[in-house]
Amino acid sequence: MASLPVLNQPPRRSGALLDNLARRMRLHAEGVLAPLGLRPRHLVALTVLRDRDGSTQQALATTLMMDRATVVGLLNDLEADGLVERQRSPEDRRRHIVRLTDHGARLLAKAEFSLAEVEDAVLCALDTDQRAQLYDLLALAASGPEHGPDHGGCGAAAAAQDDAPDASC
Amino acid sequence: MASLPVLNQPPRRSGALLDNLARRMRLHAEGVLAPLGLRPRHLVALTVLRDRDGSTQQALATTLMMDRATVVGLLNDLEADGLVERQRSPEDRRRHIVRLTDHGARLLAKAEFSLAEVEDAVLCALDTDQRAQLYDLLALAASGPEHGPDHGGCGAAAAAQDDAPDASC
DNA sequence: TCATTGGTTTGTGTAGCACCAACGATTTAT
DNA sequence: ATAAATCGTTGGTGCTACACAAACCAATGA
């Protein structure tokens, strides 16, 4: 086995690239977000909240991969600015349902609008189509399962015919 | 103008998604990298160095968007582990040329191999083709121009027919 | 009744930076 | 030749964004 001359080049992981690009984006974005009273982590929270509106704080903590206590502080920031609302869940009155307010949605749109220049600076090696492709892939990946600390997320072995850390090497 | 009914939906920026996904990757990766004596930022540095081998520390600082003093410390770590070498540039003896050692290249490959499970956990919503696409896009974007603090990087207005922060709104 | 869970508060600690200032070695401009 | 600028280095200070732990209240479920 493993004899097909399919270019058995060593695996390239996207993790480091992701990290590096995210850093560039974040640093460039800080200057643009500051006048709006936002910092990068607020933007991330708002963005997550737009897609998963009405999440519990616990669910939010899971998708953000943050400690619940940290999420409390983050939401305090956002709620103080009226970007987000906490409502008691009717089903389980211990829970808080977090909702994006109109003001929050509008500010998010505004922020994304002004982030055009940032994306332009960082992703300038990509044309419009490629940027759209990238966004779609990221959105798909991010929409994935909850990443609890325990389970790997999906039903194991999603798309791993490539190389898995087993023997054979 | 701006009258074509081309789905004038508000712009979606990939910055926040990038940030969030990078975070998930990094947190998952820490546990895998630790036994190899690496931390996420070391992996980023090694990865950058594989593509831009023989860079000056200054160039490295630019692509990593880090302070030169910080880069010194980072390289000290890597050089102490024999993953990287500093050589005086013959042309300008002030400069240091940074090279990946064989040991460094081998450890990087090893790390990437073990990172399969991490990528599998985080990108499990993507199939193999999509993961490859994502990697290519990221690599292309990262291979882009030097992101000095001043200029936007590329020759302005690369692929920005979409929406630019001008009037008209 | 008692154990559990969701959110909150208040610590304490840490990693990963930035920024500043000063220095030696070297190159470049005057 | 002298002065100015550049590259890397060191050491210091300080900040941000977290994690983690402990204790608490309210509410749910056993």
Identify the closest residue of chain A to B105 by CA–CA distance. A10
B102 pLDDT higher than 80: yes
A98 pLDDT higher than 90: yes
B152 pLDDT higher than 80: no
Section B44-64 average pLDDT: 96
What is the pLDDT at residue A68?
97
| Cα B126–Cα A155–Cα B128 angle in degrees, nearest 5 | 25
Per the model's pLDDT, the better-predicted residue between A116 and A9 turns out to be: A116
**Rounded to whole angstroms, how far apart are CA atoms A81 and A38?**
10
What is the pLDDT at residue B157?
47
Rounded to a whole number, what is the distance in angstroms from the first to the last CA of chain B?
11
Per the model's pLDDT, the better-predicted residue between B128 and A157 turns out to be: B128
Smallest CA–CA distance, residue A161 to chain B, in Å, is 8
Identify the closest residue of chain A to B51 by CA–CA distance. A17
What is the pLDDT at residue A144?
73
A82 pLDDT higher than 70: yes
Section A123-139 average pLDDT: 95
Report the 10 Å Cβ neighbour count for B39.
15
Q: How confident is the model at residue B168 (pLDDT cuts 50, 70, 90)?
A: very low
A30 pLDDT higher than 90: yes
Q: Is A99 part of the contact surface with chain B (CB cutoff 8 Å)?
A: no
How many contacts does A have with B, using Cβ atoms within 8 A?
Answer: 262
pLDDT digits (tens, 9 = 90+) for B59-95: 999 999 999 999 999 999 999 999 999 999 999 999 9
Chain A stretch 102-161, residues whose beta carbon is closer than 8 A to a beta carbon of chain B? 109, 112-128, 130-131, 133-135, 137-145, 147, 152-154, 157-161
ipTM of the modeled complex: 0.88
Chain A stretch 16-35, residues whose beta carbon is closer than 8 A to a beta carbon of chain B? 16-29
* Interchain pair B134, A137: CB under 8 A: yes
Q: How confident is the model at residue A161 (pLDDT cuts 50, 70, 90)?
A: very low
Amino acid at B65: M
Average pLDDT, chain B: 87
What is the pLDDT at residue A168?
39
Section B106-110 average pLDDT: 96
* Interchain pair B160, A109: CB under 8 A: no
Q: Is B14 part of the contact surface with chain A (CB cutoff 8 Å)?
A: yes
Nearest to residue B26, comparing CAs of A52, A78, A26, A50? A26
Report the 10 Å Cβ neighbour count for B85.
16
What is the pLDDT at residue B95?
97
What domains does chain A contain, in order, with CATH numbers?
21-119 (1.10.10.10)
